[in-house]
Amino acid sequence: MRNTQAAWSVSGGAGIPNETLCRQKTQLSNRKGPASGACARLATVASTGSTGGACSLLAVALFISVFFLLGGCATPQTDRIRATASARPQPVELKEVPFFPQEEYQCGPAALAIMLNWTNDFVTPDELVSQVYLPKRHGSLQLELIGAVRRQNRIPYVLRPELESVFAEVDSGNPVLVLQNLGFWWYPDWHYAVVVGFDLPGDRMVLRSGREERHVVPIEVFERTWRRSHYWAMVVMPPDRLPFTAEEIPYLQSVAALERLSSWETTATAYATALTRWPKSLAARMGLGNSRYALGDVRGAQQAFRQATQEHPDAAVAFNNLAQMLAIENRWQDATAAAQRAVELGGPQVGTFRETLKQIEAKREKQQEPLGPP
Amino acid sequence: MEKFRRLAKPVSHLVVAGLLALSLHLPTAQASLIGTEAVINATQAQQNRERLHELLNREDVKSQLVARGVDPSQVQARVDSLTDQEVQTLATKMDQMPAGGDVLGVLVFLFLVLLVTDILGFTNIFPFVKHPKR
């Protein structure tokens, strides 16, 4: 038993009862054990553990739990990455990504502040606490982090649940916010961290995590902790830059969510940026038109909707919105024609199209009344 | 008191529904620009009924956030920045969702178990556990 104690004390004193691990972490993080020798330590425990009744019970329990865990902890993504490691031989590390050490329970605000500051939105973790922290849960929800990003006029984009996406983003210069469960499903320790680097040949990832500016972990360890959040990862982008792995519809959905907040400058820029990668995107063109209209640029909106009708002659929504713009400019004939086209094309919103047509015709008659014969 | 509490939620829903019914002209489709979200999601049948439902969800999420300690003056802004779908998710399973925050309160036994699993590389709780190069 004494041996066991000695073995553990190498890694920084085991007997700290009734303290939260959060605090232990800070106390112990300065007392690093030897860089190698984890396996040796474990061997000592295994051999000495079998002396004495309590210890053997502990050893058996540990053995069973470890055996059980081994069965459930394959790391398919890491294996896949290793198979293609030669494709990215150079280590990548985004050294310019800032760092905010977390306060107790506040890894959400801290990680989010790192992401936002990287996009030149100079917000502090303290300012974010009231926006994302859920006091009774001692943590922050993913959806609330997403909402906070939108309020800062940035585009949150949730990545495909694959290591390849994370590495592709980091490789193209974008840090990646991840949710990990550092513990187990039965003993969860949910944690937000920011991936800023990786080294495939060296089998390492670098994270801004908790109080550690450079937390280095083997890729498979990261995968195990990350898998428990169903591989949740997100990038935070300024509206004039697209995530490297962005896909058209998911990206435009993330942008459209900002319309609810009337962040029209931001959405206009983001839709225009999306059009540089997907020039024929109906949703992006329509979004650009809607944003311009909301900003008071009727001419610009009309131009966007017209282009949408030309590129997508069967898109009734484009004709409907074009008709509205033409009506504002009192171009009744063109407006009526566009509205009629929308009604002809029909679709789930045909009720709105009919209403548009009706309104335009009514306004047209009103306008022309004074000019008509008495 | 208990009875009152049980009634509070359905009653508040009724009140909200009533207020909304005053402001929503349910049967008429309004002539308007089609929003970008509608373009993306394409199928927007039963828009109005869904809208009523979503607004109820929003009220529900707001009261859930307040119940979990969020400052009531912040709640509106927090809910406003979520999409209908996200609000729906929060309304139905806020407590099943992980809240990242490093919440730990643990006894020595668990500390030992987790230290071992940390060393083996199944968990990554303790920053002082260093992994040797493979």
Q: How confident is the model at residue A89 (pLDDT cuts 50, 70, 90)?
A: confident
Q: Is the pLDDT of residue A6 over 80?
A: no
Mean pLDDT of A349-370: 87
| CB proximity under 8 Å: A 23-42 to B | 24-25, 28-29, 31-33, 35-39, 41-42
Q: How confident is the model at residue B25 (pLDDT cuts 50, 70, 90)?
A: very low
Going across the sheet that includes A133-134, the strands are A133-134, A139-141, B99-100
pLDDT tens digit sequence for A106-120: 899 999 999 999 999
Quote the CA–CA distance of A205 and B82 in Å, as a whole number. Answer: 32
**Contact assessment for residue A181 and residue A190, using Cβ atoms and an 8 Å cutoff:** yes
Q: Looking up tokens 């050490």, which residue turns up?
A: A101
Q: Cα distance from A333 to chain B (closest Cα, Å)? A: 18
Give the residue from A260, A277, A288 showing the smallest Cα distance to B54.
A260
Cβ–Cβ gap A104/B77 under 8 Å: no
Q: Give the per-residue SS3 of chain B.
A: CHHHHHHHHHHHHHHHHHHHHHHCCCCCCCCCCCCHHHHHHCCCCCHHHHHHHHHHHHHHHHHHHHHCCCCHHHHHHHHHCCCHHHHHHHHHHHHHCCEECCCCCCCHHHHHHHHHHHHHCCCCCCCCCCCCCC
Which residues in chain A touch residue B89, judged by CB atoms under 8 angstroms apart?
A: 143
**Contact assessment for residue A238 and residue A174, using Cβ atoms and an 8 Å cutoff:** no
pLDDT tens digit sequence for A330-348: 999 999 999 999 999 998 8
- The whole-number pLDDT of residue B18 equals 55
A362 shares contact with chain B (CB less than 8 Å):
no
Which has more confidence, B21 or A230? Answer: A230
Give the residue from A173, A176, A174 showing the smallest Cα distance to A158.
A176
